[in-house]
């Protein structure tokens, strides 16, 4: 190849990428909501990164909230020592919120990635091969969808807490049970989604053409089907990120999630339950953790919407 | 039949098992394709043209099952029965020896890859060795000129490419080809492939092939897309090319260009072509021989000239009469196409035929050679 051609090619490829990237950025600028979502998520990421500075851990396990542990004393209002005040047992809300962010990201990432991987694999198999495999897998997802999800998760978590696992994800059996329970109930959604997409793409001519030109099943699945079906999954996964944290908080609130002094937003809300009845007198106990949960979910939901606008080719060029 | 046939289909039966019942889509199809000729396969919608052509690649659309029959394909001196091959061997034949052009060119291209990526994939799949050898030669040239670090990088690449030739499944290669930056050693091979692709597109008379290889399918016009699809099909100089209505969705001027192109390419690459269409005009223009299908049967097969002058089967006669002509009243074939769930007994055309004999509804006519190289399945010619 002559050097002239080489120059031509190297000049061309990045141009296209830069053009698309610029278009993506422009698209984001045009939708202020997506910018808000992105900045919220970045804000929480910053909190994660700065956690050891903002709230230096006092104990060996940074996720355990430091507290004086005095029983029966009232929560203290926000002060210089406790920025967001304290809640039951004098646990520091600020510390809990900051380290709870890391915990939320960890929960979201582990659960979303695991359910997406499991859901994708099973959905691709079910959609591509069809037949009896498809039938079994889809009836199984039907069974899971037939139960109210929160009730099923609670049942699974209670059952899983009694099982000793050979590995640990967080160091606490209760939290591991929580994560596994949510994954077990979460994957069928992705499986259904990807299966439907695979069924749509499978009959496209280019898949047939790839087959006619001698491509193996694995090659067709990974080169032709997966890249054409992945976008809705990315969108749903980013929307689910917030939902899963909300779900985990609900489990903690119900007493099934994190242990007592663990830095978990749901746990903090659970603590504030005793003080809600006295109206606005102990407002800080529920306001700050609630605000964190709300903003986190809002951020991911807006980002999910933005992903749809940006990634979905049907919306992208509108 | 003589050994010069590249493809012979004998008594192919194919059923679709649907909720409405068993659709007897192919009912003993007989077909032969000589080396280096273009055989036109004509028939109306739903008569089994596409199913026949897909069967040649042992590809059956899901509820369908090939019940019996033989599809003999001769690769050079070796003859294989496509239907008895294992999936692994089929993958080697598809695309390498038999390739296919699809009806809707833009749908046949994956929307997320550029032309270069799509054609490269076929290249890498079937012609890897040639590409490796070519890039190895280039690398050795470059290594002589280069100095210092660059030279050692080239040396490393050369060892990798040699490894790919000698032991393509070695642990080292599999490992390196998975790691993001290191796997770029394959780029040299892709560059060589790109050069070949540009050449191929030039042969297909695409203007400015350098630009077109970087385009996505949605940026191509119908004619260009069809040429790219043809390029993919021809990437490995196949022995047999199956063209499933390649010009149906193109407008007439582009159609003429593509038809001419197919004729030329056939001479250049010495491939045989099975040309599936419902357009008798196209058949007259491109094909050497023609086979007429009706309701899952090949009813007549013969030389194009003799066929148009003297069609033997009553269906073929009616078909030719029903071509619209100016200043003449339009003639159509009475009756409707039979349901293939409950096809007529005996000859499947007997209830629409103008010469129905007493034997027709009872016995299925045999596919026999009436004149030299002119086969008909009809009781009138026994």
Q: Nearest CA of chain A to the CA of B126: how many Å?
A: 8
**pLDDT tier for residue A120 given thresholds of 50, 70 and 90:** very high
Provide the percentage of residues in chain B whose pLDDT is more than 90.
1
How large is the greatest C-alpha to C-alpha distance in chain B, in angstroms?
90
pLDDT averaged over every residue in chain B: 83
**Which of the two residues, B161 and A68, has the higher pLDDT score?**
B161
Answer whether B49 touches A (CB < 8 Å): no
Instruction: Give the pLDDT of residue A2.
Output: 45
State mean pLDDT over A19-37.
80
Sheet of B272-277, strands arranged across: B98-101, B240-244, B272-277, B38-42, B289-294, B297-303, B374-376, B368-371
From A224, which residue of chain B is nearest by alpha-carbon distance? B110
Cα–Cα distances (Å) from B193 to A74, A298, B134, in that order, read: 75, 48, 9
From B188, which residue of chain A is nearest by alpha-carbon distance? A1
Instruction: Supply the DSSP symbol for A65.
Output: P
Residue B199 token pair: 């050449």
- B191, A1: Cβ pair inside 8 Å? yes
From CA A30, how far away is CA A33, in angstroms rounded? Answer: 9
Instruction: Give the closest of B99, B111, B210 to A213, CB-based.
Output: B99
Spatial CA neighbour of A116 closest among A66, A189, A54, A48? A189
Residue B311 token pair: 């069609």
**pLDDT tier for residue B2 given thresholds of 50, 70 and 90:** very low
Indicate if the alpha-carbon torsion angle B29, B34, B35, B39 is positive or negative: negative
Provide the percentage of residues in chain B whose pLDDT is more than 70.
97
Residue pairs spanning A and B at CB distance below 8 A: 68
B320 and B313 in contact (C-beta within 8 Å)?
no
Instruction: Give the pLDDT of residue A7.
Output: 46
**pLDDT tier for residue A121 given thresholds of 50, 70 and 90:** very high
Least trusted range by pLDDT, from B184-188, B253-257, B263-267: B184-188
The H or E element spanning position B356 is none
Taking CB atoms and an 8 Å cutoff, what residues of chain A touch B109? Answer: 206, 209
B177 and B132 in contact (C-beta within 8 Å)?
no
State yes or no: pLDDT of B220 exceeds 60: yes
- The predicted-structure confidence for A161-203, as pLDDT tens digits, reads as follows 887 777 777 777 788 888 889 999 989 999 999 999 999 888 8
Instruction: Supply the DSSP symbol for A74.
Output: P
- A12, B214: Cβ pair inside 8 Å? yes
Cα–Cα distances (Å) from B3 to B7, B75, B79, B287, in that order, read: 10, 12, 10, 21
Interface mutation target, options B60, B108, B230, chain A, most CBs of A under 10 Å: B108
From CA A256, how far away is CA A153, in angstroms rounded? Answer: 10
State mean pLDDT over B330-352.
83
State yes or no: pLDDT of A1 exceeds 60: no
Instruction: Give the pLDDT of residue B53.
Output: 87
Answer whether A14 touches B (CB < 8 Å): no
**pLDDT tier for residue B67 given thresholds of 50, 70 and 90:** confident
Torsion of CA B11, B16, B17, B19, to 10 degrees: -150
From CA B310, how far away is CA B333, in angstroms rounded? Answer: 18
Answer whether B130 touches A (CB < 8 Å): no
Answer whether A12 touches B (CB < 8 Å): yes
Cα–Cα distances (Å) from B231 to A89, B57, B208, B269, in that order, read: 75, 19, 15, 12
State yes or no: pLDDT of A160 exceeds 60: yes
State mean pLDDT over A135-142.
92
State yes or no: pLDDT of A66 exceeds 80: no
State mean pLDDT over B86-109.
84
3-state secondary structure of A70: coil
State yes or no: pLDDT of B336 exceeds 70: yes
State yes or no: pLDDT of A65 exceeds 70: yes
Backbone angles phi, psi at A211, to 5 degrees: -65, -45
Instruction: Give the pLDDT of residue A15.
Output: 66
Answer whether B196 touches A (CB < 8 Å): no
Instruction: Give the pLDDT of residue A11.
Output: 47
- A212, B59: Cβ pair inside 8 Å? yes
> Which residue is associated with the tokens 């139960």?
A147
Instruction: Give the pLDDT of residue A137.
Output: 92
Instruction: Give the pLDDT of residue A10.
Output: 47
**Which of the two residues, A182 and B186, has the higher pLDDT score?**
A182
Instruction: Give me the interface pTM, i.e. the ipTM.
Output: 0.75
Taking CB atoms and an 8 Å cutoff, what residues of chain B touch A227? Answer: 112
- The predicted-structure confidence for A251-276, as pLDDT tens digits, reads as follows 888 888 777 777 788 888 887 877 77
- The predicted-structure confidence for B270-285, as pLDDT tens digits, reads as follows 788 888 988 888 888 8
DSSP states along B273-294 = EEEEES-HHHHHHH-SEEEEEE
Burial of B267 (0-12, 13-18, 19+ CB in 10 A): exposed
**pLDDT tier for residue B5 given thresholds of 50, 70 and 90:** confident
From CA B169, how far away is CA B176, in angstroms rounded? Answer: 11
- B102, A205: Cβ pair inside 8 Å? yes
**Which of the two residues, A139 and B323, has the higher pLDDT score?**
A139
């Amino acid at each position: 190849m002559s050097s002239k051609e080489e120059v031509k090619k190297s000049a061309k490829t990045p141009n296209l990428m830069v053009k698309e990237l610029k278009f993506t950025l422009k698209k984001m600028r045009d939708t202020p909501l997506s910018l808000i979502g992105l900045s919220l998520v970045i804000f929480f990421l910053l909190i994660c990164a700065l956690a050891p500075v903002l709230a230096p851990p006092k104990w060996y396990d940074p996720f355990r909230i430091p507290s004086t542990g005095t029983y029966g004393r009232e929560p203290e209002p926000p002060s210089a020592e406790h920025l967001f005040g304290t809640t039951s047992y004098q646990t520091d809300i600020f510390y809990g919120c900051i380290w709870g962010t890391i915990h939320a990201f960890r929960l979201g990432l582990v659960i979303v990635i695991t359910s997406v991987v499991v859901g994708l694999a099973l959905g691709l198999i079910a959609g591509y091969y069809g037949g009896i495999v498809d039938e079994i897998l889809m009836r199984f997802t039907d069974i899971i969808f037939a139960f109210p999800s929160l009730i099923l998760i609670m049942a699974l978590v209670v059952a899983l807490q009694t099982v000793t696992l050979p590995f640990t994800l967080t160091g606490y059996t209760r939290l591991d049970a929580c994560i596994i329970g949510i994954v077990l109930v979460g994957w069928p959604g992705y499986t259904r989604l990807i299966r439907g997409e695979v069924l749509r793409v499978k009959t496209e001519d280019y898949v047939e053409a790839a087959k006619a030109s001698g491509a193996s099943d694995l090659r067709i699945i990974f080169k032709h089907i997966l890249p054409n079906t992945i976008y809705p999954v990315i969108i749903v996964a980013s929307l689910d990120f917030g939902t899963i944290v909300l779900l985990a908080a609900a489990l903690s609130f119900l007493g099934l999630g994190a242990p007592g002094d663990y830095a978990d937003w749901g746990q903090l809300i659970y603590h504030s339950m005793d003080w809600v009845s006295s109206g606005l007198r102990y407002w800080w106990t529920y306001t700050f953790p609630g605000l964190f949960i709300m903003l986190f979910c809002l951020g991911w939901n807006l980002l999910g919407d933005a992903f749809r606008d940006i990634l979905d080719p049907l919306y992208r060029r509108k | 039949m003589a050994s010069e046939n590249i493809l012979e289909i004998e008594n192919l039966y194919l059923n679709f098992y649907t909720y409405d019942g068993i659709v007897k889509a192919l009912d003993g199809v007989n077909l032969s394709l000589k080396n280096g000729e273009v055989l036109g396969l004509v028939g109306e919608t739903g008569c089994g043209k596409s199913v026949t052509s897909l069967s040649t690649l042992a590809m059956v659309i899901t509820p369908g099952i090939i019940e019996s029959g033989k599809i003999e394909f001769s690769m050079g001196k070796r003859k294989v029965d496509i239907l008895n091959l294992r999936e692994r061997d089929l993958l080697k034949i598809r695309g390498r020896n038999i390739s296919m052009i699809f009806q809707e060119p833009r749908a046949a291209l994956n929307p997320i890859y550029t032309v270069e990526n799509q054609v490269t994939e076929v290249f890498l799949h079937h012609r890897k060795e040639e590409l490796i050898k070519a890039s190895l030669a280039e690398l050795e040239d470059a290594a002589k000129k280069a100095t210092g670090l660059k030279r050692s990088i080239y040396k490393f690449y050369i060892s990798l490419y040699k490894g790919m030739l000698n032991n393509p499944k070695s642990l080292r290669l599999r490992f390196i080809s998975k790691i993001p930056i290191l796997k770029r050693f394959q780029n040299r091979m892709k560059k060589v492939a790109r050069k070949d692709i540009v050449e191929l597109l030039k042969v297909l008379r695409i203007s400015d092939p350098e630009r077109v290889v970087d385009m996505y399918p949605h940026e191509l016009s119908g004619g260009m897309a069809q040429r790219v699809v043809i390029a993919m099909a021809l990437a490995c100089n196949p022995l047999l090319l199956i063209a499933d209505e390649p010009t149906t969705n193109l407008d007439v001027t582009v159609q003429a260009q593509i038809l001419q192109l197919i004729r030329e390419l056939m001479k250049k690459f010495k491939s045989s072509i099975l040309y599936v269409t419902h357009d008798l005009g196209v058949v007259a223009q491109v094909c050497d021989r023609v086979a007429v299908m009706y309701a899952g049967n090949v009813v007549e097969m013969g030389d194009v000239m003799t066929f148009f002058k003297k069609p033997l089967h009553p269906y073929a006669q009616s078909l030719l009469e029903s071509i619209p002509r100016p200043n003449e009243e339009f003639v159509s074939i009475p009756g409707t196409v039979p349901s293939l769930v409950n096809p007529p007994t005996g000859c499947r055309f007997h209830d629409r035929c103008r010469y129905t004999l007493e034997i027709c509804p009872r016995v299925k006519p045999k596919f026999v050679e009436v004149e030299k190289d002119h086969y008909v399945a009809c009781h009138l010619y026994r």
